[in-house]
Amino acid sequence: MKPVLVAGGAGYVGSHTCLRLAQAGFRPIVFDDLSNGHREHVQWGPLEIGDIRDGARLDAVFAAHRPVAVVHLAASIEVGESVRNPGKFFDNNVGGSISLIEATRRAGVEALVFSSTCATFGDPVHLPMAEDHPQIPLNPYGRSKLMVEQVLADYARYVGFRSVILRYFNAAGADPEGRIGEWHEPETHAIPLAIDVALGRREHFTIFGSDYDTRDGAAVRDYVHVLDLADAHVLALRYLLDGGAAGSFNLGTGLGTTVRELVEGVKRVSGRPLPVVEAPRRQGDAPVLVADNILAKQVLGWSPTHDLNSILDSAWRWHAGRVAGAEATPG
């Protein structure tokens, strides 16, 4: 099995990517500082604890495992925190990425898949959003990811270092077998927050913004199953290992769901009430984000296979199972 270094592999998308890599015949080597990831989610390969800003630690891990490629998912991701503390995001996301890229090159590895985001685009100029959409981020999180994209473009242009940039829209859902799922502390993502309300762990779900120019006034997002994202990482990795050129690809379903529609979907899968409170728009939130995924289909052969019902059903079963397990554990 060919080893692949997965930076951030103990996190949400990272752990699902490790699952898919293992199923595809690779051996994922997880490199994570566990600040956002979870040791329990490292199930398909060894865990190496470290910070991507630590070049010496990276060198030691590269020497020990000799990976054929790198998948880079290590980052600070919470938009609100990036507005409050932009320095942390530029240090970790930009500085850490450069440190990892340099360690990758020192090890003689020439293929890297980078986890980026639709937050690099900002407000939509046209919909759906293709790869050539203007990139004008609304917050430091999106700007930090765009800066890494620009760094990778220069590495490709000037030193021939090849990477694939994968811009996620809204990652959602969980492994249908319940082994891993979405687990953030604190939780800030819409689907797990809504599920927590349905489970009685929170009093209400907050809809931020009811006056957007959308079909029901709520913001619209393109929810894509985390295993579909994981499949894209495997395809991008194979594309690079087969000699593919550097490139950027948008990953979404091409279908938009309003926050109100999401709430109704969680009510449906849970069969429980879900009290809602409306609040003003949040700084840094775009009104609509929906992907044009044609390029990923044409070049990588990627297509999403899960719809919103599948996303919500798998997410509900994962979170409900965790709560049931916690309640059954003494202590």
From 301, 242, 322, select the one nearest 40 (Cα to Cα). Answer: 322
Residue 41 and residue 175 in contact, taking contact as beta carbons nearer than 8 Å: no
Q: Return all residues near 303 (Cβ < 8 A) that are at least 6 apart.
A: 293, 297
Helix (H, G, I), strand (E, B) or coil at 221: strand
Count Cβ neighbours within 10 Å for each residue of 43-76 and write b for 16 or more, e otherwise. bbbebbebbbbbeebbeebbeebebbbbbbbbbb
Residue 114 and residue 147 in contact, taking contact as beta carbons nearer than 8 Å: no
Residue 105 and residue 39 in contact, taking contact as beta carbons nearer than 8 Å: no
Q: Which residue in the list 141, 155, 168, 212 is annotated as catalytic?
A: 141
DSSP 131: T
141 is catalytic: yes
Rounded Cα gap, residues 331 and 312, in angstroms: 31
The residues carrying an active-site annotation are: 141
